[in-house]
Structure 1
Amino acid sequence: MATVEPSRTARVEARIAPDVLAVVRRAAELQGRSVSDFLVAAALKDAQRTIEEAQIIRLSVDDQQRFADLLLNPAPLAPAMKRALESRKRLIAGAK
C-alpha cells in the first residue's frame, strides 16, 4: 500500500480589525468554510489576479495603432543588422 505524504503548510499571521473579522466570519459562514480557509482562498484569488494583471501589456488606442503600423510597415534595417543577417545566412548555409 502506498503511503500518502501529508501536505506541508506554512503559517501566516495577520492582525485584523474586529469589524473586518466579523465581515470575514460572516462570508466564511455563508460559504460553509472556516475563516482560515476563506482567507487563504481569497488571498490566492487576489494574488493570481494581481499576477495576471501584471503580465498584461496595456496600450492606448494610439499606441495600438502605432504598434500595428510598425508591424505592417517596419522601418528599414540598419546597416549593422543587414550585415548580421548576411552573416547568419552564410553560417546556416555553411552548416548544411
Structure 2
Amino acid sequence: MEAQLNKDERIELRVSSTDKRIFKKAQKLSGDKSFSSFIIRVVKQQAEEIVAKNDRIIATEKDRKVFFDAVFGNPKPNQNLVEAAKRYKSKKA
C-alpha cells in the first residue's frame, strides 16, 4: 500500500444503515484494518480505473483523428517533404 504522507483533506458522507452494514462487512472480509482505509482503498481503486478508461478512450479518439487526417487529410506535401524529395532526387542523379 502507498504511504499517504499528508492527510489534510476530509470527506464526509451520509449513507443508509443498510449501505454502512455492507461496507463494514466487506471491510472485515477484505482484511483492511480500519473502515477508513477500506473506503479509501476501494474508492481510489475504482477512481483510478475510471480515469484510466477515460484516458484510453481519449487517446483512442485522438489516434483515430490523427490516422484519418493523415490518410484523408491534405494530400499536398509540406515544405519539409518537398525539400527532402529535392535532396533525394539530386543525390540520385
| TM-score (norm. length: structure 2) | 0.59
Change beyond 3 A, Cα 1:83–1:19: closer
Could you say what secondary structure the match of 1:16 adopts? coil
Percent identity over the alignment is 15
- Distance change >3 Å, CA 77–CA 41, structure 1 → 2: same
Instruction: Show structure 1 runs of 4+ deviating over 6 A.
Output: none
Aligned to 1:35: 35
Tell me how large the CA RMSD over aligned residues is.
3.5
Normalised to the residue count of structure 1, the TM-score between the two structures is: 0.57
Q: Aligned partners of 1:47, 1:86: CA distance in 2, in Å?
A: 45
Query: Cα gap change, 1:87/1:37 in structure 2, threshold over 3 Å: closer, same or farther?
Result: same
1:56 aligns with 2:56: yes
Structure possessing the higher relative contact order (Cα contacts under 8 Å, 6 or more residues apart)? 1
Q: CA deviation at 1:48?
A: 0.5
Q: What stretches of structure 2 of length at least 5 have no aligned partner?
A: 85-93
- Structure number having the greater helix percentage: 2
2: CA distance, partners of 1:87 / 1:77: 14
Q: How far is the alpha carbon of 1:55 from its aligned partner? A: 1.2
The one-letter amino acid of 1:14's match is L
* Alignment length (residue pairs): 74
Q: Tell me how far apart the structure 2 counterparts of residues 88 and 13 of structure 1 sit (CA, whole Å).
A: 63
2:71 alignment counterpart? 74
Alignment-mate amino acid for residue 49 of structure 2? R
